[in-house]
């Protein structure tokens, strides 16, 4: 990837972040305006509850994007699996129709694997437009970290361009804020010596990745 491509990708990721943050931050602004005009004690309590929920949603999204897109701490660090699990659980906390099943035995994962896990999970969550089941697993085996995220529901909403970004077949000129995260994790997996795959039916989307573990951490 050349310098201009890197700049374009960073801009698209920023656009994605801003798009996802617009709703909860906008709700905070609207709530504050209502609070300034409202005198009824019960209504003020309701508005405060909404403000607290919007603030919580904003915080959860920022924490997610910081780890999913950010480079804080360097790629060589390992992350306790409880951190990505809590971030993904928080993302679906207000989605009653999505149930998560976890299958991760390792106590920690390398940060590239965590980034891939988070982004694949986000793609799967977005695909469950009518709710369903989200199965998330990761296993360290034979020197590799194998990640599988499966979304199962009555309707799977999956942009074909996201799939092309995952397998590297989407031309850079056609990248957008919607496909930037998929492109990023495909690059991340490739740079680590691994890869990303996906398969889709009308009711199931399976996303998988294999990333070699750092040699000094295998033993």
Do the bridges between strand 108-110 and strand 78-80 make them parallel or antiparallel, or are there none, so unpaired?
antiparallel
Work out the angle at residue 95's Cα, subtended by the Cα atoms of residues 91 and 97, and round it to the nearest 5 degrees. Answer: 135
Domain 3-217, architecture per CATH: 2-Layer Sandwich (3.30)
Domain boundaries, the chain: 3-217
Q: What pLDDT does 73 receive?
A: 45
Q: What pLDDT does 71 receive?
A: 63
At 217 the three-state DSSP class reads helix
Q: How far is CA 67 from CA 75, 119, 193, 198, in A?
A: 11, 10, 21, 23
Give pLDDT < 50 ranges for the chain: 73-75, 215-219
Q: What pLDDT does 76 receive?
A: 54
Q: What pLDDT does 1 receive?
A: 60
């Amino acid at each position: 990837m050349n310098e201009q491509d890197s700049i374009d990708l960073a801009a698209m990721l920023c656009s994605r972040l801003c798009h996802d943050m617009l709703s909860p931050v906008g709700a905070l602004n609207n709530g504050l305006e209502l609070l300034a005009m409202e005198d009824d004690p019960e209504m003020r309590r309701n508005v405060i509850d909404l403000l607290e929920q919007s603030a919580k949603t904003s915080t959860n999204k920022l924490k997610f994007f910081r780890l999913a897109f950010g480079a804080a701490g360097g790629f060589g660090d390992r992350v306790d699996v409880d951190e990505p699990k809590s971030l993904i659980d928080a993302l679906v906390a207000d989605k009653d129709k999505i149930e998560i099943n976890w299958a991760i035995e390792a106590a920690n994962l390398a940060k590239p694997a965590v980034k891939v896990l988070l982004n694949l999970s986000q793609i799967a969550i977005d695909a469950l437009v009518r709710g369903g089941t989200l199965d998330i697993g990761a296993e360290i085996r034979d020197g590799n970290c194998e990640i599988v995220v499966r979304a199962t529901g009555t309707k799977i909403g999956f942009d074909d361009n996201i799939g092309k970004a995952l397998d590297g077949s989407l031309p850079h000129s056609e990248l957008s804020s919607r496909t930037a995260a998929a492109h990023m994790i495909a690059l991340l997996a490739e740079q680590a010596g691994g890869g990303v795959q996906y398969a889709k039916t009308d009711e199931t989307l399976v996303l998988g990745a294999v990333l070699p573990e750092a040699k000094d951490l295998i033993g």
